[in-house]
Amino acid sequence: MMGSLFPLLLPLSLLFLGHLVNPWQCPDEPRSSSLDHNVQYDLPNYVAPKHIQDLISKDGQEPLVFMAITNHLQVLHGSDLRILQSVTTGPTNSSECSRCSQCSMGSARPDQPEDTESQVLVLDPEEDILYSCGCSLRGLCFLHQLIGAKISDSKCLFDEQENFHLLCRDCVSSPLGTLLTVVTRGYTAYFYLASSVVSRMAESYSPVSVSVRRLLSTEDGFADGFHSLMVFPQFSDSYPIRYLHTFRTEDFVYFLTVQLEELGGTAYHSRVVRLSAMEEEMRR
The residue among 110 and 113 lying less far from ligand NAG, judged by its C-beta, is 113
Cα–Cα distances in Å, from 255 out to 21, 59, 168, 227?
48, 25, 23, 16
* Range list of β-strands (E), 217-267: 227-229, 241-248, 252-260
| CA–CA separation, 268 and 256 (whole Å) | 13
Nearest approach in angstroms of CB 102 to ligand NAG is 16
In this structure, what DSSP letter does residue 16 have? H
Nearest approach in angstroms of CB 52 to ligand NAG is 24
Footprint on residues 101-160 left by ligand NAG (CB under 6 A): 113
- Return the H-helix or E-strand segment holding 184: strand 178-185
Q: Which residues of 228-254 are buried (b: 16+ CB within 10 A; e: fewer)?
A: eeebeeeebeeebbebeebeeeeebbb
Footprint on residues 8-47 left by ligand NAG (CB under 6 A): none
| CA–CA separation, 67 and 48 (whole Å) | 9
The residue among 63 and 110 lying less far from ligand NAG, judged by its C-beta, is 110
| CA–CA separation, 16 and 12 (whole Å) | 6
Number of residues that bind ligand NAG (CB under 6 A): 5
- CB 202: neighbour CB atoms within 10 A? 18
The residue among 45 and 95 lying less far from ligand NAG, judged by its C-beta, is 95
| CA–CA separation, 258 and 245 (whole Å) | 10
Nearest approach in angstroms of CB 93 to ligand NAG is 4
The residue among 112 and 234 lying less far from ligand NAG, judged by its C-beta, is 112
The residue among 96 and 162 lying less far from ligand NAG, judged by its C-beta, is 96
The residue among 71 and 173 lying less far from ligand NAG, judged by its C-beta, is 71
Footprint on residues 53-112 left by ligand NAG (CB under 6 A): 91, 93-95
Q: Three-state SS for 180?
A: strand
Nearest approach in angstroms of CB 206 to ligand NAG is 24
Nearest approach in angstroms of CB 110 to ligand NAG is 12
Nearest approach in angstroms of CB 137 to ligand NAG is 14
Q: Which residues of the chain form contacts with ligand NAG (CB under 6 A)? A: 91, 93-95, 113
